[in-house]
Amino acid sequence: MKPPDSDNKRRHPRFPLQLHVEYQRGTDYVFEWTENLSEGGFFIRTEQAFPQGSALELTLSFPGLLEPVNVEGRVAWIRAPSLSQCGGVGVEVDNEGGRRRLADLALRAADRERGKTCSFSVLIVEDNESIVRSYERVLNHIAQTTEGQVKIHFASNGHSALNELKNHAVDLVITDIYMPIMDGLTLIENIRKQDFTRNLPVIVVTSGTGDERERAAKLGVRAFLRKPVQFSHILQTIVALATANAV
């Protein structure tokens, strides 16, 4: 199925907000995030086979930056997966309350594009140097268009991450699972044991098993990213939401 016509897209500018998606009726699909969002709806990257026209009740959120937002919509169009992009569904929101919520989120993204000041600190725990360089390239690009700053701290394993947390106050941790010296799950266990980090939001990056996700969920992790991660969308979302929260 094809997306809405170009005139509809122009009426509702789209912003690359990557928000965590939870289905209110319950599902095991924990890796699902929006790809973009507008006042009229949003696109979800998903492997689920939603029929066109089916009704969805969703919660959109981002750990540490956006409290859960409940939205109802319907599947307006379907994108089949290809070699260059994953599949997904375009969700259209018709009710006034849902559109107001989306309009607020779109305004946050627009504020970021206008260059408003923001301040937010993230610890990324990743042992793969090429992935770290990918984060840094995106950060350098974002820094050129943002007056404020999103501070990023890097650690190559869980032990180094704990030292970073002792020396720097951060607002969010994004961690891999498989790392030398101390893995991501052990890191999260230690984070939850410390008074000053017990409630720290954590996003887990993994391509691992359901057992790992279950262990992480028991430690308070609700958001998971499946490898390979779209670094630009995640960091742009952090900047957009941090900008709005700081103003």
Task: Give tens-digit pLDDT for 23-55.
Answer: 877 555 566 889 899 989 999 988 888 999 999
Mean pLDDT value across residues 92-108: 85
pTM summary value: 0.76
Q: In this structure, what token pair is assigned to residue 96?
A: 């006034």
Q: Classify domain 119-246 by CATH number.
A: 3.40.50.2300
Residue 184 — pLDDT band, cuts 50, 70, 90?
A: very high
Average of per-residue pLDDT values in the chain: 81
Q: Is 209's pLDDT higher than 60?
A: yes
* Torsion of Cα atoms, 139 then 121 then 234 then 223, to 10°: 160
The CATH 2.40.10.220 portion of the chain extends over: 6-113
DSSP code for 180 = S
Residue 8 — pLDDT band, cuts 50, 70, 90?
A: very low
DSSP code for 47 = -
Mean pLDDT value across residues 121-140: 84
Q: Is 155's pLDDT higher than 70?
A: yes
The CATH 3.40.50.2300 portion of the chain extends over: 119-246
- Are residues 137 and 233 in contact, defined by beta-carbon separation less than 8 angstroms? no
- pLDDT score, position 62: 87
Sign of torsion over alpha carbons 63, 69, 75, 76: negative
Q: Which CATH architecture has domain 6-113?
A: Beta Barrel (2.40)
Helix, strand or coil for residue 160? helix
Cα–Cα separations (whole angstroms), residue 137 to 16, 89, 143, 193, 217: 17, 29, 10, 34, 31
Q: In this structure, what token pair is assigned to residue 9?
A: 């897209």
